[in-house]
Amino acid sequence: MTIAATKKIDFIDLKAQQRRIRASLEQRITKVMDHGAYIMGPEIAELEEKLAKYVGMKHCVACASGTDALLMPLMAYDIGPGDVIFTSPFTFIATAEVIALLGAGVVFVDIDPRTYNIDPVKLDEAIQKFVKSNSGKKAKGIIPVDLFGQTADYDPIETIAKKYGLFVLQDAAQSFGGTYKGRKAGSSGNVGATSFFPAKPLGCYGDGGAIFCNDDAMMQKLRSIRVHGQGSDKYNNIRIGINGRLDTMQAAVLLAKMEIFDEEIRLRNNIASRYSDQLKNNVLTPFVQPECMSVWAQYSILADHRDEMLKKLKSRGVPTAVYYPKPLHLQDAFRDLGYKRGDFPISERIADSIFSIPMHPYLSTEDQDYIVKAIVE
């Protein structure tokens, strides 16, 4: 017996979360309105201290977006024309966009077929091939992407980086709150970056991001870059920077959300486990590396005849999303890199069959059963 579309299910339910923390939100936002320091108010320093402690890093620099969180460290490393950064083609464009914005070269590396994160073996091969090419350009860094909630495999990535003298910038936009071998996302590599876009596991009510590091000199550079490259004051500029500040209002929202963040991560993992138990015989469910905990930014599955399945799910009121339908090496924005279809077969195969289903801490058992039944049928 087939089921009819009788339910309205949210892909991400921010309203349920807001109802839960409404009193705390209003108290913190009112406090900002009372003191009136809307730019770099006291909530910024409070948030940075709490985030640094949460991740287990010495420094946190809050910034205006997840994109700025990737751009600013590259600026601090003086990345520019003639430099090359290695990253994944199976991600949102921001990861590679920041490299191109600085005039540096992007070298893509295919992904692991189970985790969808950058493949360390292929990474080593790609760097070795680049070094032997004598292109005149210099390999400078690696940006691994933590996709769908779990981190990349950082132990071998960091070993490879040391082998070739490269820095590692962790793109933890989707993994913040997750762990890698007991270490919080954002604490691997030389610098960690995350996003507080509203749909993220920890999201604000606008754009926001944060950068993590243990290096004092890097922290000072990042704080300078965040405010137009300022030195002793905002009218003494010692480098080229950007307007990368996080608004005080967004910091207030994040502080309220942090109060329940760990509980929401537990709820996400409970929901993910239930999905996997009920769907494992029908579709390819997500694989999480041993010694890792995913924060389940998305619950993504693979299925043949994806487009047909998505239409049927839509007809039954089940929302879906595809992350990501077109790998970056096939995007028009990177046409000048000379890549073609077939260059990264795993990324291409996953992009052709992956889709995500509703995932948030407040997904009811009833709604989850409805989603599972629709997929199974």
DSSP codes of every residue in 59-102: EEEEES-HHHHHHHHHHHTT--TTEEEEE-SSS-THHHHHHHHT
Would you say the pTM of this structure is higher than 0.85? yes
7 is a domain residue:
no
Domain final residue pick, 258, 288, 304: 258
Q: Percent of the chain having pLDDT more than 70? A: 98
331 and 224, same structural domain?
no
Domain final residue pick, 241, 258, 275: 258
CA count, 13 A, side-chain hemisphere, 105: 14
Which residues, 6 or more positions from 245, have their beta carbon under 8 angstroms from its beta carbon? Answer: 39, 40, 44, 62, 63, 64, 226, 227
Q: What average pLDDT does the segment 167-193 reach?
A: 98
pLDDT at 271: 98
pLDDT at 334: 98
pLDDT at 135: 87
Per-residue confidence band for 234, with pLDDT thresholds at 50, 70 and 90: confident
pLDDT at 283: 92
Q: State yes or no: pLDDT of 167 exceeds 70.
A: yes
Per-residue confidence band for 3, with pLDDT thresholds at 50, 70 and 90: low
Q: What average pLDDT does the segment 53-64 reach?
A: 98
Q: What average pLDDT does the segment 237-258 reach?
A: 98
pLDDT, tens digit, 9 for 90 and up, residues 66-95: 999 999 999 999 999 999 999 999 999 999
268 and 240, same structural domain?
no
Amino acid at 214: N
Per-residue confidence band for 182, with pLDDT thresholds at 50, 70 and 90: very high
pLDDT, tens digit, 9 for 90 and up, residues 316-360: 999 999 999 999 999 999 999 999 999 999 999 999 999 999 999
Q: State yes or no: pLDDT of 125 exceeds 70.
A: yes
Read off the tokens for 287: 């694989």
246 and 153, same structural domain?
yes
Q: What is the overall mean pLDDT for the chain? A: 96
12 is a domain residue:
no
Rounded to whole angstroms, the Cα distance separating 160 from 249 reads 40
Print the domain residue range for 306: 260-376
Contact 277, 370 (CB under 8 A): no
276 and 175, same structural domain?
no
Q: What average pLDDT does the segment 276-299 reach?
A: 96
351 and 337, same structural domain?
yes
Residue 35 sits in a domain whose CATH number is 3.40.640.10
**The total number of structural domains that make up the chain:** 2
156 and 43, same structural domain?
yes
9 is a domain residue:
no
Per-residue confidence band for 7, with pLDDT thresholds at 50, 70 and 90: confident
Domain final residue pick, 237, 258, 279: 258
242 and 163, same structural domain?
yes
162 is a domain residue:
yes
| Closest alpha carbon to 99 in 142, 45, 149, 66 | 142
Q: State yes or no: pLDDT of 1 exceeds 90.
A: no
321 and 228, same structural domain?
no
173 is a domain residue:
yes
141 and 267, same structural domain?
no
Helix (H, G, I), strand (E, B) or coil at 269: helix
Rounded to whole angstroms, the Cα distance separating 210 from 50 reads 12
Q: State yes or no: pLDDT of 34 exceeds 90.
A: yes
Residue 305 sits in a domain whose CATH number is 3.90.1150.10
Strands (E) located in the chain: 59-63, 83-87, 105-108, 138-143, 167-171, 179-180, 183-184, 191-195, 209-213, 292-293, 299-302, 354-357
